[in-house]
Each structure stands twice: as C-alpha cells, then as structure tokens.
Amino acid sequence: MIPYDKLPHTPIASVNSVVVKTGAWRTFKPVINYEKCIRCMICWKFCPDVSIRLEDGSSYPAQSERIKETIKEAPVIDYDHCKGCGICAEECPTKAIEMVPEEK
Amino acid sequence: MMEIRFHGRGGQGAVVASRILAAAAFLEGKDVQAFPFFGVERRGAPVTAFTKIDEKPIRIKSEIDEPDYVIVMDTALLSAVDVTQGLKKGGLVLINTEKSAEEIHEILGAEKVAVVDATEIAIRNQLGTKVQPIVNTALVGAFARASGIVKLDSVVQAIGSEVPRNPERNQQAARDAYESTVVMEFS
Amino acid sequence: MVRMLLTGNKTTAYSAMRSRVQVVSAYPITPQTTIVEHIAEFIADGLMKAEYIQVESEHSAMAAAIAASNTGARAFTATSAHGLLLMHEMLHWATGARLPVVMVNVNRALGPPWSVWADHLDSISQRDTGWMQYYVENNQEIFDTVIMAYKVSERPDIMLPSMISQDAFYLSHTVEPVDIVEQEVVDNYLPPYDPPYRLDVNNPAGFGSLVMPNHYYEFRYKIAEAMEKAKKYIKEAAEEWYEITGRDYRGLLDCYRCEDADVVLFGAGTMMSTAKEVVDWMRAEGKKVGVARIRVFRPFPGEDVRKVADGAAAIGVMDRAYGFGRGGAFFNEVNSALYNHRNRPPTKNYIIGLGGRDVKPRHIRAIFNDLLKVKDEGLDEEFRWFGLRRENMPEEEI
C-alpha cells in the first residue's frame, strides 16, 4: 500500500497500474510465435489494457528477415498486467498468438 | 445618499437613463449604483429603474423604497403606477408633460414639481419616432436642472459614453431640456 | 487605474480577460447570463485571446472546461441556477481530477415555482463537490476574486476548482464603479498556468482511472488536506492583492465591527453589504452590533467563527437558502464550528430573501434588535422565517 502523501493528486496512468498487478487474473495467457509474427502491431493496437509493449525487435525471430529489417520493433506481452482476454489472439491476422492455459 | 427612481415603459430607455445619470455623477467623483427593477421586462409594460448617488461608498444593495426624486417618462403612466409612492417629504417629481407644474401638483400633490416637454424635444432632435419618441436623454438633462445634483456638462459627457447611437442629437436634447425645465415648489 | 461603470456580468467578463483565460466553454440559453455574451464579444473584437467553445448543455460546458484544464489551459465558464445543477456530476469530476477550473455562478433561485431572482440554493447545493466557494458583496469583489481564485486554485499543492457566486440582479444587472486593474499588473500577480501534470500527446497518460478501496480513501483525504491548506493560500493571495490594490480581502470571514460586538450577524452575499451600513447606524445609537460575512464558504473558516464566538453574546445567521433539515447551510456550519468550542453563545437562524425577496436595511435592523433580545432574554426559537407573509405579520418584516 502507498501512503497518502506519496500518491499523486489524482490517479494518472501512463502505463498499467503499478499498484495492481492484474496479470494474476489470467487463466489463459497469450504466447507470441515470433516466427509467424509480421510486426503488423494489430495486437498492440487492440489490447484493451495497454499490456503489449513495443520493444527493440532485433533479438526476436520473425516470419522473414525482411520484416525484421524494415520494422525495428516487436510486440512483447506484459504478463504482469495482461488479463488474458484473448483479443490479441483473435485479431492476429497470421494466427501468431496462441492462448495457453496458465500452469497451476 | 440621493435616491432617484425612474418610471417609464419598456422601450423608452428608463434603464439607460438611470445609467446615464449614474455615469454623470460618477464623472463628478461620486459613488453610484444604477439598476433596473429586478423583473422580466417587456416593451410597453411599466418599467422602473433606480440610481443611487453618494459622496461615500454605497453599501446598501436593496431596492429604493423612499426616493428623493422621481422621474416620470410618460404622463399615461400616472393612471397605471403610483409614481409618488414612498417619495420623501420634500421630494421632487420630474415629469415629461405638456401640462404646467401647477396642474401636475393638482394631480400628484407633490411639494416640488418639475415639468419638461421631453416628447417635443425628442421629436425636434429626431430621437425615436412621433409614436415612440426616445425621451430618456432629455429627461436626464432636465433632471440636472431640476435637482442641481449633477451638472449639465457631466450629463452631456455621460451621454457621449453611454449612448452608442446619435450621441450628438441626444446631447442636444439634454441641453434643450435643461433650458426649458420649469421647477415649482408648493407648500 | 481604469475605473468603469459596469454590471456584475460585464465585470466578470473583464475578470476573465485580465486572468488571460485560454478556454471558455458555455451554453448560452437561459439561465445563462450576459457574462458569456460579453466574453464572446471580447474575443470577437480581438480584445481577448481565448478559445470559445459553445456546447450543448451546462454538463458539457463543465466537461469541456475540465478537458481544457487537463491539457494545461486556463479554463473558465459561467452559469446560474439550473445550469449549475446540470453541471453537478462534472463539478465532482473537476475536483477529483484536481483541475483548477474557475467558474462564476450567478446565484438564482431554483424552480418551480419558476424564478430568476437572487437565492443561494443553487451554489449551496454544490457544497460537497470539493469546489472552493466564494460569495461576493459587490462588483469590484467579483473582479478581484476571480483573479485571486486562479492564483490559489493553480498552486501545485492545491489544484482544486473555484466557484465565485454573485447575487442575481443585485450585482449581475447593477452598474457600479469597478477598478479594472491593468493587464501588466495582473500578469505580474498571476503568472501563466503551469500545471504539474497535463494531457500531452507526446507523453500519453490516462487521468482519473479506477482505484481500489485501498487507495480511494487516500485520494479523498488528499482533497480534504488541500482544501484545508487553501485557507493559508487564500489569505496570502489576498495579502499580495492588498499590497497592489489596497483592497482588503484578507479574511475568509469578513468581520465588520465584530471586535467588541455583543451580537454578530453571519451571512453571505450582497445583503451583508447592506448589513454593514446598518451596523454603522446602530453603533451610532450605542448598540454594539457587528457583521461576519462568509466570504469563503469552502474551505470553511471554522477557526474564525470560533474567534467571533469568543466575543459575542449572541450570534445570528442569515441564510438565503433553506436545506429542509435543521435550517440553512451557513447556520449548520457555524453551529458545527461551535459545538465543540468552549464558548457557545446562543445561535439563531434567519431564513431570508429567498427567490429575490428584497432584504432591506429595516429588516437587518429588526434582526439585530431580535438578536439583542436573545442576548438579554435567551433564545426564543432557533429558526425564524423572516418576512413570511402571514396573518398579523409584524410591521418590521414587511
């Protein structure tokens, strides 16, 4: 818990809540198969919880080298906050995201 | 504090007259307040407006119940409104009329009466129409004469700043009215 | 110094101009006043550089002001009566989002019965929205208070909205001399708004998102803390304005001849200006009466009320609104400040002037005389509907 005098005037969210880790709500988690990913970023755009970040894509595989050369970033899932809604998997045009049951 | 009440009809300019008078006194360094009766105004309906003038800051915010002066813009109002209601003892009524001060005294019983034919002056100065002359500026000029509490020069200057249309003709009407106002005291 | 003859409405427009407000949002239909018309003219004539947004309701007017303020713009709006009520939800929002919107409200009665006349129920109904609330007694005070209100509201450790209320007709439609302080002087006093946070496309963020019960409570406490802290800043802002203009608004409670008064009358708005004049008349007759005008109602000057109670033998509170419980809001707050205080003179509530019923000097005099009787003989009744039309109505109430 954050003491009152350490809180801002009003809740301001520039990233997902740092206080509440909604990742614990998940029963299924999205896993990106980067070899199918074409870096269209549709998953990033659709994520209702801003839980997909764009990171430097050089260390991730891709469907083709040309994609990696043209688009420098790759989508990365923030598992601390992703609630597992599955919208990204549903929207992905190359079916590169799979919803996998959380391990109990 | 001097308290002046204006009686007119919607469209005759009573509210503007109350502001011109306030502006004239303000130019002479007085503190002033001017406001309409707090109502919902319509053209032709009786309208009341007020001006307060004082040497010191005016703190009383209520309406005027006991005026020192009453200004009546139209004799036809006399049948509709009790214009002398609350008039202070020794208070003065200034009225726009063709009648004499004696005749008005007979009707109203006021001790001090001032008369001026503001309608004729307004028409002569092409203010408004014959059916609806704008008599407010003439009456403020007449008031300067009848009361002596503001100077004609101040009224003329105030008309210049408060009346956006035809200020010169309105200023002339005030001067004409100042010249032709008749004041009489009855005891 | 430029002294002009202005109505309260036009004075308000000048105060927005001199505060260099950047966004004005308004809904122009009744019960709106000429305030926003004058501002629209100023902008159209190039005298004022601001974005004027005509919206489709008062709720939207406040929503637009909130959004503008959130981007870092100095936002202003004006409303009255039912328009203020329609804003109610958004008033809470401005507070919770900690946005220093400043608004002028023309105090008018609520219908039905339909009325356009002075009454405080519209703003009193917004008592718990977390807006700072000022009640003024003349047109000059409107001008000065809008500028001072921005200064306090925009402090990084305050960030709360302010509402300045002026009585309908008694100020809104009444011409009085007003000193319109030069722009450079106001600019020196009130620097541009520089918020600690803002909506920024280059640095995107979401504002006012959900918090769980484990933190909501803390956010409300922070509003309460800022409101309390604002007392000091309101006084500081007034002190600085006093040094510039010589006009004294240094008390949240504007006490007039209270120091040695036997009885003190509380209240707000224009009727308290009338009351000050009556105090002088009665003092000349040897009656020790005083006036405590509630200039700032939120934050509430409880400490100052206690100070007044330490000297007074009886206290009267005039309310130009009724709360359908135990008297008016001012009476309740004054009583609440005194209940746990060692000195508790009897207090009496006068409900007066509702719906623009004229409050005349003779009424105030009658109330002071009534209070002097309370002082000598004790409290007869807690609530008096002063001026209620009834059989055998006392002469003094007419």
pLDDT value of residue B164: 86
Contact C174/B34, CB-based, under 8 Å?
yes
The residue type of A17 is S
Cβ atoms of C78 and C103 closer than 8 Å: yes
**A53 lies in some domain:** yes
Q: Which range marks the domain in which residue A50 is found? A: 34-104
Rounded Cα distance between C294 and C269, Å, is 8
**pLDDT for C139 beyond 90:** yes
pLDDT value of residue B43: 72
How would you label C186-207 residue by residue, b for 16+ Cβ within 10 Å and e otherwise?
A: beebbeebebebbbeeeeeeeb
Res. B41 pLDDT band, cuts 50 70 90: low
Q: Which of B20-34, B169-183, C28-42 has the lowest mean pLDDT?
A: C28-42
**pLDDT for C94 beyond 60:** yes
- Expressed in angstroms, the distance from the first to the final Cα of chain A is 27
pLDDT value of residue C207: 85
* All residues at 6 or more sequence positions from C304 whose CB lies less than 8 Å from its CB, including other chains: C251, C252, C253, C255, C292
Please confirm whether the linkage preceding A8 is cis (ω < 30° from 0): no
Contact A14/C206, CB-based, under 8 Å?
yes
Contact residues on chain B for C137, CB-CB shorter than 8 A: 61
Contact A11/C207, CB-based, under 8 Å?
yes
Percent share of chain C, pLDDT over 90:
93
* All residues at 6 or more sequence positions from C313 whose CB lies less than 8 Å from its CB, including other chains: C262, C263, C345, C375
Q: Which CATH number do you get for residue A97?
A: 3.30.70.20
**pLDDT for A16 beyond 60:** no
Tens-digit pLDDT profile for residues C156-180: 999 999 999 999 999 999 999 999 9
pLDDT value of residue B38: 66
- Least CB–CB distance from B35: residue in C118, C174, C276: C174
Question: Is C218 at the interface with chain A, CB within 8 A?
Answer: yes
User: How many Cβ atoms sit within 10 Å of the Cβ of residue C225?
Assistant: 14
For B98, list phi and psi in degrees, rounded to 5.
Answer: -90, -15
Extended beta strands in A46-93, E state: 52-56, 73-77
Cα dist from C361 to B59, C346, C386, whole Å? 10, 23, 13
**pLDDT for B44 beyond 80:** no
- Give how many domains chain A has, as a whole number: 1
**pLDDT for C184 beyond 90:** yes
Helix ranges restricted to H, C87-175: 88-96, 121-124, 139-153
**pLDDT for C57 beyond 60:** yes
Rounded Cα distance between C37 and C39, Å, is 5
CA angle C77–C25–C57, rounded 5-degree value: 100
**pLDDT for B40 beyond 70:** no
Q: Is the dihedral of CA C54, C47, C146, C193 positive or negative?
A: positive
**A55 lies in some domain:** yes
Q: Which token pair is C380?
A: 């007869």
Cβ atoms of C279 and C291 closer than 8 Å: yes
Please confirm whether the linkage preceding C346 is cis (ω < 30° from 0): no
**A57 lies in some domain:** yes
Residue that has been written with the tokens 């489709």 in this structure: C56
**A58 lies in some domain:** yes
**pLDDT for B6 beyond 80:** yes
Cβ atoms of B105 and B125 closer than 8 Å: no
Q: Is the dihedral of CA B37, C364, C9, C118 positive or negative?
A: negative
Cβ atoms of C154 and C237 closer than 8 Å: no
**A27 lies in some domain:** no
Q: Which domains are present in chain C?
A: 2-245 (3.40.50.970), 253-397 (3.40.50.920)
Rounded Cα distance between C224 and C210, Å, is 19
User: How many Cβ atoms sit within 10 Å of the Cβ of residue A70?
Assistant: 10
Tens-digit pLDDT profile for residues C80-91: 999 999 999 999
Q: Which token pair is C85?
A: 């009520």
Q: Which residue of B has its CA nearest to C273?
A: B59
Contact residues on chain A for C212, CB-CB shorter than 8 A: 19-20
Mean pLDDT, range C65-86, rounded to an integer: 97
Contact C360/B40, CB-based, under 8 Å?
no
Q: Which token pair is A17?
A: 């809540």
The region that residue C297 occupies, defined by phi over 0 for left and psi between -120 and 50 for alpha, beta otherwise, is alpha
Contact C205/A12, CB-based, under 8 Å?
yes
- Least CB–CB distance from C205: residue in A2, A3, A14: A14
pLDDT value of residue A17: 64
> Within the 10-29 window of chain A, which residues sit less than 8 Å (CB to CB) from chain C?
10-14, 17, 19-20
Mean pLDDT, range B47-62, rounded to an integer: 96
Q: Which token pair is C376?
A: 């000598």
Tens-digit pLDDT profile for residues A18-65: 667 888 889 999 999 999 999 999 999 999 988 999 999 999 999 888
Rounded Cα distance between B5 and B50, Å, is 5
Q: Which domains are present in chain B?
A: 2-185 (3.40.920.10)
Question: Is C210 at the interface with chain A, CB within 8 A?
Answer: yes
pLDDT value of residue C257: 98
Percent share of chain B, pLDDT over 70:
97
The residue type of C398 is I
Tens-digit pLDDT profile for residues B86-139: 999 999 999 999 999 999 999 999 999 999 999 999 999 999 988 889 999 999
**pLDDT for C266 beyond 90:** yes
Contact residues on chain C for A13, CB-CB shorter than 8 A: 205-207, 209
pLDDT value of residue A75: 97
Q: Which helix (H) or strand (E) holds C30?
A: none
* All residues at 6 or more sequence positions from C29 whose CB lies less than 8 Å from its CB, including other chains: none
For residue B20, count CB atoms less than 10 angstroms from its CB and return exposed for 0-12, middle for 13-18, buried for 19 or more: buried
The residue type of C216 is Y
Rounded Cα distance between C126 and C142, Å, is 19
Residues listed for chain C: 398
How would you label C339-359 residue by residue, b for 16+ Cβ within 10 Å and e otherwise?
A: eeeeeebbbbbbbbbbbbbbb
Contact residues on chain A for C209, CB-CB shorter than 8 A: 11, 13, 17
Tens-digit pLDDT profile for residues C302-316: 999 999 999 999 999
DSSP C358: -
The residue type of B142 is A
- Least CB–CB distance from C222: residue in A1, A4, A19: A4
Residue that has been written with the tokens 């207090």 in this structure: C347
Nearest to B45 by CA among B24, B17, B74: B74
**A92 lies in some domain:** yes
Q: Which helix (H) or strand (E) holds A29?
A: strand A28-32
Extended beta strands in B20-130, E state: 31-36, 46-54, 69-72, 92-96, 112-116
Rounded Cα distance between C280 and C93, Å, is 44
Res. B11 pLDDT band, cuts 50 70 90: confident
**A16 lies in some domain:** no
pLDDT value of residue C28: 85
Contact C270/B61, CB-based, under 8 Å?
yes
Tens-digit pLDDT profile for residues C208-223: 888 889 999 999 999 9
Rounded Cα distance between A75 and A59, Å, is 12
Rounded Cα distance between C69 and C160, Å, is 11
Tens-digit pLDDT profile for residues B146-178: 999 999 999 999 999 999 889 999 999 999 999
The residue type of C172 is S
